[in-house]
Amino acid sequence: MNTVPKTDAPRRRSTRRTQEERSDTTRRRIIESAMRLLHKKGFRAANLQDIARGAKVTLGALQHHFSSRQVLMERLIDEVMAPLSDDGVVWPPLELALEERAREFVRLAWQTIYGVPSYVAAWSLFFGCKATPELFMRIDAARASSDPVFFARFVSCFPEIETNHPHPEQFAAFVFSGLRGMGMFQLFEVAREELDGQLDVLARVIAQSGLPSIAARKVRHPRTT
């Protein structure tokens, strides 16, 4: 009776895992090449030939993993939207004092989302996809889903703002708009001192917005004569 040696199955599984790992590595190189082109040259310049060249693969190999430019762009949209919808990466502990919490939030948000090169690439992709309705709808749907989560999480991270600011969720939207604007401005050469100053101002604004207004303080602590 013919039997298959017991060592063959593990060997086949090991080979299969290696092939999967190689495919994952190739796809990652393609995605990173596309992101570099988006960051440096913009959406129109991110053609498949240049992306393949940057990934050091043949055009045929690229198309084996991503059958068309639109399929690759869809994957890139998922890539760039992932950190923008991850509401667990920028929130400091509530135990920190208000000002320290505000500074830590700004630091984490900048270092993990808005200040990294992929953020500029994300906006290049967003603008480029505007002319392709199905791609832009994918972006808009992700944004519409993630923005309310971010704004609500901001308010819960800064309960002082919810208590003392007349429009806490609108203030949250204002904070994220400021971070987005600073992130997009990295298209230009911005001095580090200028950027640090803007981030410092934003942290101060967050902390100050969590304090009771002057009028509220007078009501709570009326002056005695």
CATH number of 80-220: 1.10.357
What burial class does residue 40 get, using C-beta atoms within 10 Å of its C-beta: 0-12 exposed, 13-18 middle, 19+ buried?
middle
Q: Residue 194's pLDDT is what? A: 94
What burial class does residue 153 get, using C-beta atoms within 10 Å of its C-beta: 0-12 exposed, 13-18 middle, 19+ buried?
middle
What burial class does residue 11 get, using C-beta atoms within 10 Å of its C-beta: 0-12 exposed, 13-18 middle, 19+ buried?
exposed
Q: If you count them, how many residues does the chain have?
A: 225
**Range(s) within the chain of domains with CATH label 1.10.10.60:** 8-67
Q: Which of 101, 108, 91, 88 is nearest to 206 (CA)?
A: 101
- pLDDT, one tens digit for every residue, the chain (225 residues): 555 455 555 555 555 668 888 889 999 999 999 999 988 888 888 899 999 999 999 999 999 999 999 999 999 988 888 776 666 678 999 999 999 999 999 999 999 899 988 888 888 889 999 888 999 999 999 889 888 988 999 999 999 999 999 999 999 999 999 999 999 998 888 899 999 999 999 999 999 999 997 445 444 545 544
- What's the whole-model pTM score? 0.76
Fold classified for 8-67: Arc Repressor Mutant, subunit A (1.10.10)
Q: Residue 8's pLDDT is what? A: 54
**Range(s) within the chain of domains with CATH label 1.10.357:** 80-220
Q: Residue 88's pLDDT is what? A: 65
Rg of the chain (C-alpha set): 24
The C-alpha atoms of residue 51 and residue 56 are separated, in whole angstroms, by 9
Retrieve residue 183's tokens.
């992130």
